[in-house]
Amino acid sequence: MSALTPQLRELLTALATSMIPGGLGMPSARDADVGGRLLDAVLVARPDLEAPLIALLEPLAALGDPAEAERRLRADRPAVELFALVAIGGYMMHPAVGGALSYPGQQPKPVNPFDINDVVDDGLLDPVIERGPIYREVPA
């Protein structure tokens, strides 16, 4: 279970809905439940984002003014990038969004071990080969 409080989830939803208002057959972030089950799905996939997200949202929630929170969020590029990763990542998981964009989600892609021959023949590895071996010593 996520440590995000209902207040932080509501703020995330409000900010995400400002960025993703919906229309033309697409749901808004609120309609897609970006601050609910989709947020939970994002945090299952990327649990490392929960603490930074909480650290981002708590000071914004303390402002008590959603418009000011949005202004401050938009003024902080790293914060916007983290927020967008979570909000848009969750939004893209919604079936209606994926369907409208013809995006089926992540799909398995079988690897053909002989594809490396094409890469070598095309010369894509030439700069790596010319550079020579580069490695770091592993600490004991």
Nearest to 90 by CA among 19, 5, 6, 25: 19
Judge whether 52 lies within some domain. yes
Judge whether 12 lies within some domain. yes
Judge whether 117 lies within some domain. no
> Is the pLDDT at 68 greater than 90, yes or no?
yes
Number of domains present in the structure of the chain: 1
Over range 102-112, report the average pLDDT: 83
Judge whether 21 lies within some domain. yes
Cα 121 to its chain centre, rounded Å, is: 36
Domain that holds residue 82: 6-100
Judge whether 121 lies within some domain. no
Burial (Cβ within 10 Å: 0-12, 13-18, ≥19) of residue 32: buried
Over range 81-88, report the average pLDDT: 95
Q: Using one digit for the tens of pLDDT, what is the confidence trace for 10-62?
A: 999 999 999 999 898 899 999 999 999 999 999 999 999 999 999 999 999 99
